[in-house]
Amino acid sequence: MRSRVAAILTKPETVVADYRRLLDLVGVIDGLDRNTDTLIKLNLSWTKYFPACSSQPWQVEGVVKSLLDYGFAPDRLIPIENKTVVTNPREGARNNLWFPILEHYGLNFTPLPEVEWMVYRFNSPLLKLNRIFPEGIEIPKMFVGRQVIHLPTIKTHGHSTTTGAIKNAFGGLLKEVRHYAHKYIHEVLVDLVLMQNELHPKVLAVMDGAVCGDGAGPRTMIPRPGNVLLASFDSVAIDAVAAGIMGFDPLSIPYLSMCHERKLGVADKRQIDVIGDDISQMNLHFQTKKSLVIWGDQMLRRGPLRFMEKIALHSPLVVWAPLASNIYHDVLWYPTVGRKIINQFFQTDWGKLFTSYKTKYEK
């Protein structure tokens, strides 16, 4: 069994056109059906903008413009994102500059909390989610039977080592209480692949590595230029290639090795054909670290404080957790350490490109 991942080296001056080259290379015309609705699952890891944290504006424009050029109807392209206990999709869409791009190309943004959800009984033998949510797994009704395009970025994650195409489904297929799944994150990510195989006729991932996130992902990271774009119809394979770019052995990451063992995708780099530009020597030497919030979460779920898990995280007292996260991230870290990093980023060519989007599509 072999899989293909398309890779394109990019730069700020050509990135939107490079996304078209990337989608040509991965075979979007043959791989997706232009006559069916297509969900565009954006990635919002923080309501605020932070480099490499969420879907980049050039990523959104590059994919949307290319799809329209291919002949996809605007009313059949459905950009979506969900809410977490610490993110707001509409405010995040404004801060990450998705709104003006989508509006320019005639697309409407759909926050998932505003659509109908349903209990879906999956035929696949899920590893953990049926036990985590014994009353049934609620998913957005609009997901059933629609093809989906994921727009993740290349970055680390304190719970799962890396995050990418598979983890992006975590923010779409599970409701706000999906943080219950953190305790068994690797098994849950395998479940998400199984669930998507039932729900979607096609799954495409288009990953931005123009700027990558190192360290305490998915928010309090150090942005590093990667200057690479990836795409694949195999979410496992694209996450494996991204892991290699970051400097990890994909098969050492449990969710990737478990997916590979179950033939849900390919995580062995020897069985992945990387087409396009040569990225075989890329190694950013990233190291996954845990933010204070993730460290605390893991202490309660699997560490020495696990005797407090039920009352602290599965009772009405859980309101302390998002409050603590917001205070740490938004009030303490972002205006101090984060602001310094962002200001430095805005002096780079990628940072200047982000800034240009603030005026690019102003009416």
Q: Where are the domains of the chain?
A: 3-290
Q: Output the CA torsion 181→263→228→164 (10° steps).
A: -10
Q: What percent of the chain has pLDDT over 90?
A: 80
Which has the minimum average pLDDT: 101-115, 246-260, 279-293? 279-293
For the segment 56-82, what is each residue's pLDDT rounded down to a tens digit?
999 999 999 999 999 999 999 999 999
Q: How far, in Å, CA of 81 to CA of 111, rounded?
A: 5
Q: How far, in Å, CA of 333 to CA of 335, rounded?
A: 6
CATH class of 3-290: alpha beta
Indicate the average pLDDT of the chain: 93
pLDDT band of residue 105 (cuts 50, 70, 90) is very high
User: What is the pTM assigned to this prediction?
Assistant: 0.95
Question: What average pLDDT does range 191-214 have in this prediction?
Answer: 97
**Predicted pLDDT at 317:** 56
**Chain mean position to CA 66:** 20
Which has the minimum average pLDDT: 78-92, 147-161, 175-189, 250-264? 175-189
In the predicted structure, residue 6 carries a pLDDT above the cut 60: yes
For the segment 281-317, what is each residue's pLDDT rounded down to a tens digit?
999 999 999 887 787 777 777 788 777 777 766 676 5
Question: What are 7's strand-pairing partners?
Answer: 230, 276
Q: How far, in Å, CA of 293 to CA of 332, rounded?
A: 12
Q: What is the DSSP letter of 106?
A: T
Backbone angles phi, psi at 101, to 5 degrees: -70, -50
In the predicted structure, residue 345 carries a pLDDT above the cut 60: yes
For the segment 280-289, what is each residue's pLDDT rounded down to a tens digit?
999 999 999 9
The secondary structure of the chain in percent helix, strand, coil, rounded to multiples of 5, reads 50, 20, 30
Q: Go through the chain and tell me how many residues it has.
A: 363
**Predicted pLDDT at 233:** 98
